[in-house]
Each structure stands twice: as structure tokens, then as C-alpha cells.
Amino acid sequence: MFPLSEPTYLILLALSHQSMHGYGIIKTIEDASEQAYIIAPGTLYGVLKNLEKQKAVEITGIDLNNRKKKMYAITTKGMAILQEEQTRYEKLLSFTYHLKTIKSED
């Protein structure tokens, strides 16, 4: 499942903090990124459906206070996928920094 698409990574990252419904996921990503990342509802629900099939996300219940919205939670498998992707990003950034350092010494 690697590498993850940007929306998939951001959705897993948002859910790693707490369970939430779809609109909450969208708002969390928008607010945390200061509107740098905006995920359309169609993209969100398509990704959530795929993550559910892969057992990386599960529906934990229905939020009756918010018009019966499904609540989504990251699973143990989803956390492992997220951690692997974070490690991949860290290695990529480390390599980028290293390569830039070598280039600037020339």
C-alpha cells in the first residue's frame, strides 16, 4: 500500500488523534494546515471506503447529535500503515537534506 496518496496520508493522520465523522476530518485537515490542504467530500469518502476495505479504518458508531453521521476510527493496522509512511517521509526528507548539503559543498 505504499506510497500513500496525499489525501490518504492526511486522513489517517487526522484520525490518529481521535475518531471523527467525515466533516470533522475535512475541517481538522484544513485547520491544521491553515487551508493548505483541502480535501473534497467525494475524495474523502472514496478514500475512507478504500481504507475500510483494507481494514485501516473502521466505523465506530453513529453520531446521533450530528444527523446520524458515521464516526470513523483508525485501526491498529491503519496506525502501522501511517507509521511506515511517516518513516518513509522522514527518510526522504533526510536524503533530500543530505543531497542538498553535498551539492552546496561542491
- Return the pLDDT at 104: 67
What was the pLDDT predicted at 62? Answer: 81
C-alpha cell, 6: 496525499
Give the per-residue pLDDT at 66.
65
pLDDT for position 68: 75
Q: What tens-digit pLDDT sequence spans the chain (106 residues)? A: 568 999 999 999 999 999 999 999 999 999 999 999 999 999 999 999 999 999 999 999 886 676 778 899 999 999 999 999 999 999 999 998 888 888 666 6
The CB density around residue 70, as the number of other CB atoms within 10 Å, is: 16
pLDDT score for 79: 97
- Reduce the DSSP state of residue 41 to 3 states and report it: helix
Q: Which domains can be identified in the chain, with CATH numbers?
A: 6-105 (1.10.10.10)
Q: What is the DSSP string of 45-97?
A: HHHHHHHHHTTSEEEEEEEGGGTTEEEEEE-HHHHHHHHHHHHHHHHHHHHHH
- 75's CB contacts (< 8 A; 6+ apart) are 55, 56, 57, 58
